[in-house]
A and B are shown apart, each in its own frame.
Chain A
Amino acid sequence: MIRTPQILHKQEWLAFLFHRHNVHLASFHTFSNYCRIWIISIAILAVTSLSPLVMATFINHRLIQQAVDAELVLQTERVTSNAKRSMRFFLEERLNALRFIVNELPYYALIDNEHLEEILGNLKLGFGGFTDLSIIDADGSQVAYAGPFNLEGKNYKTQPWFTRSIESDNFISEVFTGYRDVPHIIIAVRSINALGRLFILRATLDTQRLMDTLLSYKTNVHTDIFLMNHTGQLQTPSNTHGKIFTPTRLDIPKFSTTTNVIMPESERDHAFIIGYSYIITEAVTTPFILMVYKKKSGVMGTWLNLGRTFNWIIYISCLVMMIIITLVSTFMVNKLYLADKTKAETMMKMEQNQQLACIGQLSAGIAHEINNPLALINETAGYLKDLYHFADEHQNDQEIMEHLDDILEAVARCGTITSQLLGFVRQFDVQTSAVNVEKLITGILRFHKKETEYKGIHVTTDIAPDTPAIETDRGKLQQILLNLINNAFQAIEANGCLDITVSHLAPDQITIEIKDTGCGIPEENLKRIHEPFFSTKKEKMGTGLGLSITYGLVKKLQGNIRVESSEGVGTIFTVTLPVKMKKEDTA
């Protein structure tokens, strides 16, 4: 079999994407929509292979995230709790020192300025962080003062801290600037003098000491530790929220006596983890809330970077897998398509052959059954004619004679059809001998000599000089060529051309091309020309068996026949025959 361009086309990569719907082949295809199969196969492969990977990555990511968060919470909690304890101790220690002083020393000793200076000196030595000391009586007027500012005789009656400190035994103020314009904290203890009057021992604490203590817990740049009051105003400077006394817009955390850690849900604070604690001394509730802000990305940067790298690896491997999946799917679907196409083509050919065989058997049966009555009609009509002819009675009755001749002619025509039908089924043994194709063609053309001259047909034969004598069945080849050349002559109008070319292109086969400039065959008929009884010739001209017999004969000679035609231009029949027939078929 020669490799036609169509067969070459089949080898194409992605052939299924360019699949053209063919009505004749469609019913033999197992699948119809290859693009859909392709997409489904890619989708299934992608889902089954990528989803475990993606899920594992996701779970892993979540686990890392959770571990990181848990670790952060723990860290933050620890820092917050330690800082809180220090703060509480810092304030309690100083408050207790004051309490000790008022309980130990009599009132008159306290209101002595010199003595008070001495006490302040001792406090600074013993504890540090004290700026000044003063004794204030119940009316708010300062009785004694020790410190760097000359505040003697001042009245604090209108100051809010005074009203609050006179109401309770112990007092710790917020950070404020007061008269001195320096941030400071006031701590005060209340006591009663010998006259039964209330008085206050007030000390001003330097906020720097407090801040230093706080900052000592700041382990890295990603941590921010600060104090704020119960209204959200900063009491110490903060990296993230601004200078001292800046009102923050933070949600005031819920009151709790213990240390807490929260992870904010809001977008803005999402990057942080917040630890907080209300600072409560044993004696008094302070106005401070200790806040610890930890930046997640900063603290757990290594982990997050690792996660990011891991994600990149996953993305790239997903991409590689998708490419492989696509290539494999394309390859497999294409193979499937090609196999299906070959199968469909084979099945179509088989069905055509089977149809031919079926029609052949049927027509042979009919031919057999018709032959006998046909013979009877023939003889009876012949006898009638004879009767008239020999009896002299109606010898000159032209009409009767004509009718009888019509019957006999019709019978003869039927006889031709039935014998052709039988010839169509009958498969004689193939008898091979060396056949000279050129001589054969010349012989056949000689039959048509008269017609050629009469119609003015230009006949050319071009036989390649290296054409060998081929081993084939002479009778069958003769019939093939006779049929094709007859057809050509019938198609060619006056002054047409008939070109017969014999070439020897492949070493083991020869090609005979019979080209006419006849009326051509319409495209819709091209597929049917080998069907028995398919004829477009006018009444009485053809039986529709010629080409189907030719087709069968060519197959019998292990050859191939191909037809190309364009309407109005002409037709080319190409017969390819083996130079030497294979043995198994000749037997």
Chain B
Amino acid sequence: MKQIDILIIDDEVKFADMLSRRLSLRGITCRACYDGLSGIQWIKENPGAAVLILLDLKLPDLYGTQVLAHIKEIDPAVPVFIITGHGTREDEKACLDLGAVEFIHKPVSIEKITTLLTHARGEVQ
């Protein structure tokens, strides 16, 4: 089981790639999954391996809230941040109820993500 910093679950391949590359440049290890099921699969295989998870809402197979519920089942402790371009207030409420830490609208700055990671690490330690 390999330890990583951030798991990105987003169907926007280019976005996820760019983000992970940028984070890598900053010495942050990332793993990108392009649909809900593969994300859940990865977490199942590597429980507790990610420091935090960035989750999109609109995914080709499952809806973000469903993925979130699965993640919380497997690993309730991991902080999940919703990063989405869509998202209604119902979504926001549902996500927060399911245990997401924050509901963030795209676009999001790289600094914000690194800050989130710093916080998450601090909490974990």
Contacts and interface: CB of A to CB of B under 8 A. Distances in A.
Determine if chain A interacts with chain B. yes
B105 A379 contact: no
A410 B8 CA distance: 25
Nearest to A391: B25
A418 B105 contact: yes
Contacts of B107: 371, 374-375, 377-379, 411-412, 414-415
Interface string A382-399: 110011001000000000
Contacts of B88: 426
Nearest to A408: B109
A419 B110 contact: no
The 8 residue pairs across chains A and B that have the minimum distance between CB atoms:
A371-B85, A375-B106, A379-B18, A378-B107, A372-B85, A375-B107, A371-B106, A426-B89
Contact of B12 (A375, A414, A422): A375
A390 B25 contact: yes
A376 B110 contact: no
Interface of B: 12, 14-15, 18-19, 21-22, 25-26, 84-89, 92, 105-110
25 contacts: A368-B85, A368-B87, A370-B85, A371-B86, A371-B105, A371-B106, A372-B15, A374-B106, A374-B107, A375-B85, A376-B12, A378-B108, A379-B15, A379-B18, A382-B18, A383-B18, A383-B22, A386-B25, A390-B25, A412-B109, A415-B106, A426-B88, A426-B89, A426-B92, A428-B89
Contact of B108 (A375, A427, A428): A375
Contacts of B15: 372, 375-376, 379
A412 B109 CA distance: 8
Contacts of B86: 368, 371
Interface size class of A (residues with CB under 8 A): 20 to 34
A380 interface: yes
Majority-rule SS of A interface residues: helix
Majority SS at the chain B contact face:
mixed
Interface-central residue, B12, B14, B92, B106, by most chain A CB under 10 Å: B106
A380 B25 CA distance: 14
Interface in A324-380: 368-372, 374-380
Given A372-B15, A383-B22, A419 B89 contact: no
Nearest to A364: B88
B43 to A, nearest CB: 23
Contacts of B92: 426
A408 to B, nearest CB: 8
A414 B19 CA distance: 19
Nearest to A380: B18
Most-contacted residue by chain A among B19, B85, B108 (CB, 10 A): B85
Interface string A118-135: 000000000000000000
Contacts of A428: 89
B85 A379 contact: no
A379 B32 CA distance: 15
Contacts of B85: 368-372, 374-375
- Choose among A375, A382, A390 the residue with the greatest number of B CB atoms under 10 Å from its CB: A375
A61 B82 CA distance: 97
A411 B26 CA distance: 21
A376 B89 contact: no
Contact of A379 (B19, B87, B89): B19
Contacts of B110: 382, 386
Most buried by B among A377, A382, A428: A382
B22 A386 contact: yes
A155 to B, nearest CB: 145
Contact of A376 (B14, B22, B105): B14
B6 to A, nearest CB: 14
A125 B22 CA distance: 164
Tell which of A370, A371, A414, A427 has the most Cβ of chain B within 10 Å. Answer: A371
Contacts of A375: 12, 15, 85, 106-108
A499 B47 CA distance: 59
Given A386-B25, A426-B89, A428-B89, A372 B18 contact: no
A419 B105 CA distance: 7
B78 to A, nearest CB: 23
Contacts of B105: 371, 415, 418-419, 422
Interface in A84-114: none
Nearest to A378: B107
B116 to A, nearest CB: 16
B89 A372 contact: no
A415 to B, nearest CB: 5
Of the listed residues A379, A380, A386, the one surrounded by the most CB atoms of chain B closer than 10 A to its CB is A379
A379 B87 CA distance: 20
Contacts of B26: 386
A383 B26 CA distance: 11
Contacts of B18: 376, 379-380, 382-383
A368 B106 CA distance: 9
Nearest to A368: B86
Contacts of A419: 105
Nearest to A415: B107
A270 B87 CA distance: 100
B56 to A, nearest CB: 9
